[in-house]
């Protein structure tokens, strides 16, 4: 999928909201039970365990710690789920926690194009950097470029899942998000193709 990944990418100062840690803890407990969560926590380095036990969902944390936790969770659940399924489950859970009420209703009135043009605002609620550019397409197809982002291969799966969820909130069906270019393998920014049915 990617060449040699960067541990913290070109952006070592990237931060993520504690909401991400809440998703890891709560999704794992809801999907597999509290005992499985406790077994997972025992396998983590002390600093990661501390974050997961005492996170503040509104606080900002170094993203490099989140990627350690993602990798460990994928490894821990490898006998039950693929990496893509674990990340998809986490992203879906995060989205359902972050997008509720009025905002969810508002999104359902926007077209995929209009919502994606505003997507940077939603992305920056959880990530401290990254700028999303919408590139017009045709026949229920468009491209998205993620600027200022070259972090970790897991972030590719996270962004793809996040973008898919975003477009689905508009009522679009059969949403497919495909990576066209990855900034970890190229000097150019990450680029994605989105196809859907209305």
What confidence tier does 11 reach under pLDDT thresholds 50, 70, 90?
Answer: low
* Calpha distance 191→163 (Å, rounded): 12
Contact in structure between 50 and 67 (CB atoms under 8 Å): no
1 contact partners, CB below 8 Å, separation of at least 6: 153, 156
Contact in structure between 91 and 54 (CB atoms under 8 Å): no
Which bin fits 90, alpha (ψ -120 to 50), beta or left (φ > 0)? Answer: alpha
pLDDT digits (tens, 9 = 90+) for 143-192: 999 998 878 888 889 999 999 998 998 889 999 999 999 988 889 999 99
What radius of gyration do the chain's Cα atoms show?
Answer: 17
What confidence tier does 107 reach under pLDDT thresholds 50, 70, 90?
Answer: confident
What is the CATH topology of the domain spanning 101-197? H-NOX domain (3.90.1520)
The confidence score (pLDDT) of residue 6 equals 44
The confidence score (pLDDT) of residue 195 equals 96
The confidence score (pLDDT) of residue 101 equals 65
Between 73 and 184, whose confidence is greater?
Answer: 73
What are the boundaries of each domain within the chain? Answer: 15-98, 101-197
């Amino acid at each position: 999928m990617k060449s040699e990944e960067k541990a913290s990418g070109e952006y070592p100062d990237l931060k993520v909201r504690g909401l991400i840690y809440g998703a890891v803890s709560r999704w794992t407990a809801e999907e597999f039970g509290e005992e499985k969560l406790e077994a997972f926590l025992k396998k983590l380095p002390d600093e990661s365990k501390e974050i997961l036990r005492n996170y503040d969902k509104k606080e900002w944390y170094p993203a490099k710690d989140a990627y350690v936790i993602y990798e460990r969770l994928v490894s821990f659940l490898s006998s039950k789920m693929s990496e893509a399924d674990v990340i998809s489950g986490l992203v879906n859970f995060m989205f359902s926690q972050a997008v509720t009420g009025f905002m969810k209703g508002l999104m359902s009135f926007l077209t995929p194009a209009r919502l994606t043009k505003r997507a940077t605002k939603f992305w920056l609620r959880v990530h401290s950097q990254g700028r999303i550019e919408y590139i017009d397409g045709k026949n229920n197809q468009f491209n998205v470029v993620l600027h200022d982002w070259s972090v970790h291969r897991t972030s590719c799966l996270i962004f793809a899942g996040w973008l898919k969820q975003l477009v689905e909130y508009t009522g679009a069906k059969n949403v497919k998000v495909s990576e066209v270019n990855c900034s970890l393998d190229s000097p150019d920014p990450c680029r994605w193709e989105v196809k859907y049915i209305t």
